[in-house]
Amino acid sequence: MNNEHYLIHKDDYIKHIDEKVLLYMMVQQLTFQIDKLTPTKKNEALRRVAKRYSEMIDAMFQTWGIPGSYLVFSKESDLAELMENELIAPEDAGYIPCEEVCDDECCCDCCGCEGCPYAACEDDEDEADNEDEGIDDFAEAMAELSAHIHSIFGDSVSVHIIVE
């Protein structure tokens, strides 16, 4: 993945962990029940496969970093270290929440509130009028993209587009 970053909702992350735990427990329960069968020639292959699956699921579980206490108590607080190691807050990745930028007055289409790092100064606006109209088309397309993203994720999401 080349160290690409993605945003995931916390509830989706917890659901993903819960599903891993459920699958782990299901495989372990099945392999345990198969191991309890009386060994016969007919179930020899099944018992061998179950033993191998049990070893594989244990090895996989170890790589997931899910604490054993979570298996027993399912307390979200038990996942704190795992979440700290696997997740990054949007702010830590360079995203700026709107309320920190504009004191809830704009965000950021931009109204030009004082101190807003996304507001263009008036001198820049005069120069921009003389540039290609293609820039206006690009800005309009980005505004539409931003509106679409807000319609999906809500108004509390800040959209920052960096063009290099």
What SS3 class is residue 62?
helix
Q: Any idea of the CA torsion for 161, 86, 25, 18, to the nearest 10 degrees?
A: -40
Q: Please state the separation of Cα 140 from the chain's center in Å.
A: 28
pLDDT in tens, the chain (164 residues): 576 777 888 899 999 999 999 999 999 999 999 999 999 999 999 999 999 999 999 999 999 999 999 999 999 999 999 998 888 877 777 776 655 555 555 555 555 566 555 554 444 444 445 455 566 676 777 677 777 676 776 676 666 666 55
Q: What is the DSSP letter of 130?
A: T
* CA atoms of 45 and 27, how far apart (whole Å): 17
**Residue-range domain boundaries for the chain:** 10-86, 98-153
